[in-house]
Structure 1
């Protein structure tokens, strides 16, 4: 039985997503199976995106003082 998506680590979700994509790309799945795979793949993609967003929010950048010494940390600002 497949693990619930919300319990998967990023790495496990990504691995399963790669398997889903491979199965879909093979063209061997029936239409019903393809729909089920697509739906699971979309949920796995969302899980990976959520995990990456949470990881990014936890990253901190080191602030330097005028002399270039570490003076603290601030939230990472992507972009």
Structure 2
């Protein structure tokens, strides 16, 4: 009887960030050889892209949750969870600029 392998769970954002910080420390130490440095660098780039994708996804969710219409009422819309981690340019291109806040609006989180 063979054991079914359990699927590996994706590391959380915090775990990915910790791994990325460890890689940066290793690369800054300069004690790794060229091949190992390159392997660690590639892993770091993958982690960095994952972190950016998570942050972008979270930012989209926050924008949806805090969006108001002209009457100050919350705007309810289904969340499109299809995201890309291609480039920063692509993810910033579709972002709206927020109107400047008044002093009263600037005092709180919402």
- TM-score, normalised relative to structure 1: 0.74
Counterpart CA distance in 1 for 2:38 and 2:24 is 12
Tell me, yes or no, if structure 1 residue 45 matches structure 2 residue 54. Answer: no
Q: Tell me how large the CA RMSD over aligned residues is.
A: 2.6
Q: Comparing both structures, which one devotes a greater share of its residues to strand?
A: 1
- TM-score, normalised relative to structure 2: 0.55
CA pair 78-57 structure 1, distance change in 2 beyond 3 A: farther
Number of equivalences = 72
Match of 2:74 in 1: 72
Q: Comparing both structures, which one devotes a greater share of its residues to helix?
A: 1
Match of 2:105 in 1: none
Counterpart secondary structure, 1:8: coil
User: Which structure has more RCO (C-alpha within 8 Å, separation ≥ 6)?
Assistant: 1
Among 63, 72, 78, the residue aligned to 2:68: 63
Counterpart CA distance in 1 for 2:76 and 2:24 is 38
Give the number of the structure whose alpha-carbon radius of gyration is greater. Answer: 2
* Shift of residue 8, structure 1, vs aligned partner: 1.4
